[in-house]
């Protein structure tokens, strides 16, 4: 945990928060070993990064006052992923959040195992836990991502630059000048890849094919490698 996540539900007034999540209280008291008057880095959801100073401390609660949050400049990154194994999708949700994904869209690709679509990880409590862990790890990005499950590959906002990653195509992802775009949509298939029919559909929706090389990567490795290029 590189920052303590503060939620609107914990807000007492504009700059004061009551931290009552047990593992966050334990992190501040036992790992950071802080007490009244000490400060720590806080991530204020949808507002930015701040420094919080402890005003009150008890066994179960901590009251802290924050400095005005500073929101970091970041792209709007929409990640479209073909549904993969639940452990893979958990990694993508948590670490994709820490790498700045603003919106996740998951679709059952033709080569996806359809039972994966009903996994518990897409229930609200599981999603909230994974997204929280991602933002706390980041200590840079503060926007709470949206997560949607779609039955089909959806048409998207035409204002974004749309990329689909696929092996063995001429245009290379590492040559992509992402600084020219504020909004980027990135599509990555399940481990068995997209079918030719799906690739044709993506192209009809305005996606450009790019490659990270000839190797067939695990879905999460492809996601993290691609997102790292956008930082």
Q: CA-to-CA distance for 49 and 42, rounded, in angstroms?
A: 6
pLDDT confidence of residue 73: 81
Map residue 85 onto helix, strand or coil.
coil
- State the Cα torsion 197-198-200-206 to the nearest 10°: 170
CA distances from 166 to 8, 10, 50 (A): 40, 43, 39
* Region 204-217 average pLDDT: 88
Q: In what helix (H) or strand (E) does residue 76 lie, and over which residues does it extend? A: strand 76-82
Mean pLDDT of the chain: 92
* Region 6-24 average pLDDT: 95
pLDDT in tens, 96-139: 999 999 999 999 988 888 889 889 999 999 999 999 999 999 88
Q: What is the DSSP string of 93-141?
A: HHHHHHTTEEEEEEE--TTS-GGGGG-GGGSHHHHHHHHHHHHHHHSS-
pLDDT band (50, 70, 90) for residue 216: confident
pLDDT confidence of residue 103: 95
Both tokens of residue 158? Answer: 């035409």
pLDDT confidence of residue 139: 84
pLDDT in tens, 52-81: 999 999 999 999 999 999 988 888 999 999
Hunting for tokens 């490659």 — which residue is that? 211
Map residue 65 onto helix, strand or coil.
strand
What's the whole-model pTM score?
0.91
Both tokens of residue 124? Answer: 């609200």
Domains of the chain, CATH where assigned: 4-66 (2.40.240.20), 76-230 (3.40.1280.10)
pLDDT in tens, 36-46: 999 999 999 99
pLDDT in tens, 132-174: 999 999 889 999 999 999 888 777 666 789 999 988 788 999 8
Q: CA-to-CA distance for 77 and 96, rounded, in angstroms?
A: 10
């Amino acid at each position: 945990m590189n920052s303590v996540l503060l939620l609107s539900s914990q807000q007492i007034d504009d700059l004061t928060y009551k931290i009552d999540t047990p593992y966050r209280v334990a992190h501040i008291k036992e790992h950071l070993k802080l007490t009244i008057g000490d400060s720590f880095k806080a991530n204020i959801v949808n507002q930015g990064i701040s420094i919080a100073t402890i005003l009150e401390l008890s066994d179960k609660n901590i009251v802290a006052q924050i400095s005005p949050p500073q929101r970091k400049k970041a792209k709007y990154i929409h990640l479209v992923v073909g549904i993969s194994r639940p452990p893979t999708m958990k990694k993508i949700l948590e670490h994709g959040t820490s790498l700045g994904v603003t919106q996740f869209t998951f679709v059952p690709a033709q080569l996806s195992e359809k039972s994966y679509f009903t996994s518990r990880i897409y229930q609200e409590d599981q999603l909230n836990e994974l997204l929280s862990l991602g933002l706390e790890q980041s200590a840079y990005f503060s926007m709470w991502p949206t997560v949607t499950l779609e039955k089909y590959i959806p048409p998207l906002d035409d204002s974004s630059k749309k990329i689909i990653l696929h092996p063995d195509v001429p245009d290379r992802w590492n040559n992509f000048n992402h600084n020219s775009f504020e909004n980027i949509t990135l599509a990555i298939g399940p481990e068995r890849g997209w079918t030719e029919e799906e690739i044709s559909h993506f192209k009809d929706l305005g996606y450009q094919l790019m490659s990270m090389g000839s190797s067939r990567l695990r879905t999460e490795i492809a996601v993290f490698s691609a997102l790292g290029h956008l930082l």
